[in-house]
Amino acid sequence: MPKMKTHKGAAKRLKMTASGLLKRKKANHSHILTKKDRKRKRRLRSGDLVDKSDHKRTMRLLPYGL
């Protein structure tokens, strides 16, 4: 059976934690920041984990982890 290919777009956006969960960045923090309040921008700066319901589907894009 041939090797599986890593989805390069997912590999650039996600990082694996030591416990096997996936870290991701939050959306809406790249442009049009003037209308967003300080509190919202500060919360968007922090990372987040991929939800449990999406974990299996996301791991299919990264067959060998990161």
Q: Is the pLDDT of residue 66 over 80?
A: no
1 has pLDDT over 90: no
Rounded CA separation 26/48 (Å): 7
- pLDDT number for residue 16: 94
> Residue 20 domain-assigned?
yes
User: Using one digit for the tens of pLDDT, what is the confidence trace for 11-39?
Assistant: 999 999 999 999 999 999 999 999 999 99
Rounded CA-CA distance 64/50 in Å is 17
Q: Please report the pLDDT score of residue 65 as a whole number.
A: 87
| CA–CA separation, 64 and 66 (whole Å) | 7
Domain membership of residue 39 as a residue range:
8-59
Give pTM, 2 decimals: 0.80
Question: What's the number of domains the chain is made of?
Answer: 1
Q: Which pairing describes strands 22-24 and 15-16: parallel, antiparallel, or unpaired?
A: antiparallel
Question: Which of these, 48, 7, 51, 8, lies nearest to 28 by C-alpha position?
Answer: 48
Q: Read off the pLDDT of residues 34-59 as tens digits, 9 standing for 90 and up.
A: 999 999 999 999 999 999 999 999 99
**Does 65 map to a domain?**
no
Here the CATH number for the domain that contains residue 24 is 4.10.410.60
DSSP assigned state of 52: H
